[in-house]
Amino acid sequence: MLLPSLDEIKRAADLIAPHVPPTPQYCWPLLGERCQTEVWVKHENTTPIGSFKIRGGLTYMADLDAEHVICATRGNHGQSVAYAAAQNGINATVVAPRGNSTAKNAAMRAFGANLIEYGRDFNEAYEHTRELCANGTFHLVPSFDRKLIVGVATMGLELFNAVPNLDIVYVPVGLGSEICAVIAAREALGLHTEIVGVVADNAPAYALSFEQGKVVETDVPNTLADGVAVRLPDSEALHIMRRHVARFVRVPEANIAEAMRIYFTDTHHVIEGAGAITLAALLQEQSKAAGQRVGIIASGGNVNLDLYCRILSGSYQSG
């Protein structure tokens, strides 16, 4: 895949601007004290769907000739598809695995999507969407696609322009659109910022694949960071990561929960598990990042209330 050019990313930014103002990046002093370095948080939890995914959905749907789209999702991609489809007069169906976040399911319905619950995890939900597309009724919106990367790269462009000379950026890795988009923005600007991928220890497929140089499938993930709960990596995404990512960090469940609590105490922002793993990774690599200018992506803020209350109270126990 050819990474998007700077002109492409700028055109996507113009397209997205009426729906999504540039999100803030803040250097929170309490986080800096805790991490013993200069930390900039890119707050993608502040978009209209509470996730960076909206950028890709708007770009993908802008010139799409379809009456009905469908996608598989753990929630944020589905919200993006539902939101962008509604803006473009297109019907949307989303397929989420059984037991998915009730908050994310409710949000997808509120944005106008028809929700189907199917399968044990994202990959089984995705296979079901392929089956539903067999009769030609739906246009399948993938979770990894160049058009999505072009849109999400606007996030990277905002961050790199707002905070010059970042030494490291920690990026969550689900199926790969977010980290590939940050790579695209860095390359388009000709920067040398080190990009570090972050996964949950309970969903290590991309970290294992990165280390072994081939796609490695794992068991069905069970992680608090549901947005990165992928067991089968995308080969094209992995190829980009192998060329441009410095390393991967795997984060235990207890550390993810602790990072969510820290976000609330130090910034008063609600950050979901998949968004908090980058802070958890930075805390794990504190000595390595000391004295550097670090960016961390808070990729979303969509978390169930009951789960969040247990995390804040310290009563959450990982399965």
> Which amino acid is present at 61?
M
- Are residues 63 and 73 both part of a single domain? yes
Asked if 78 contacts 104 with a C-beta cutoff of 8 angstroms, the reply is yes
**pTM: predicted TM-score of the whole model, two decimal places:** 0.95
Domain of 86? 53-140
pLDDT of residue 317: 80
E runs forming strands in the chain = 25-26, 38-43, 68-72, 91-96, 114-117, 139-140, 168-172, 194-200, 247-251, 293-298
- Are residues 136 and 249 both part of a single domain? no
- Are residues 165 and 215 both part of a single domain? yes
Expressed in percent and rounded to 5, the helix, strand and coil fractions of the chain are 50, 15, 35
Quote the CA–CA distance of 35 and 286 in Å, as a whole number: 6
Planar angle of CA 41, 44, 48, nearest 5 degrees: 150
- Are residues 118 and 177 both part of a single domain? no
Residue with tokens 């990561």: 241
Domain count of the fold of the chain: 2
- Are residues 167 and 287 both part of a single domain? yes
Domain boundary among 140, 170, 203: 140
Report the CATH number at residue 185.
Answer: 3.40.50.1100
Quote the CA–CA distance of 51 and 232 in Å, as a whole number: 22
Does the residue 177 lie in any domain? yes
Q: Which residues contact 218 (CB under 8 A, 6 or more apart)?
A: 203, 204, 205, 208, 231
DSSP state of 63: T
Residue 15: its H or E element: helix 6-16
- Are residues 304 and 171 both part of a single domain? yes
- Are residues 191 and 73 both part of a single domain? no
Q: Which residues contact 23 (CB under 8 A, 6 or more apart)?
A: 42, 43, 44, 46, 47, 155, 158
- Are residues 199 and 227 both part of a single domain? yes
- Are residues 68 and 200 both part of a single domain? no
pLDDT beneath 50, residues of the chain: none
Does the residue 259 lie in any domain? yes
Asked if 274 contacts 296 with a C-beta cutoff of 8 angstroms, the reply is no
Quote the CA–CA distance of 51 and 44 in Å, as a whole number: 5
Asked if 76 contacts 51 with a C-beta cutoff of 8 angstroms, the reply is yes
| Strands 68-72 and 25-26, sheet pairing | unpaired
Does the residue 319 lie in any domain? no
Domain boundary among 140, 161, 191: 140
Q: Which residues contact 13 (CB under 8 A, 6 or more apart)?
A: 154, 157, 158
- Are residues 192 and 279 both part of a single domain? yes
E runs forming strands in 89-216 = 91-96, 114-117, 139-140, 168-172, 194-200
- Are residues 183 and 258 both part of a single domain? yes
pLDDT of residue 319: 58
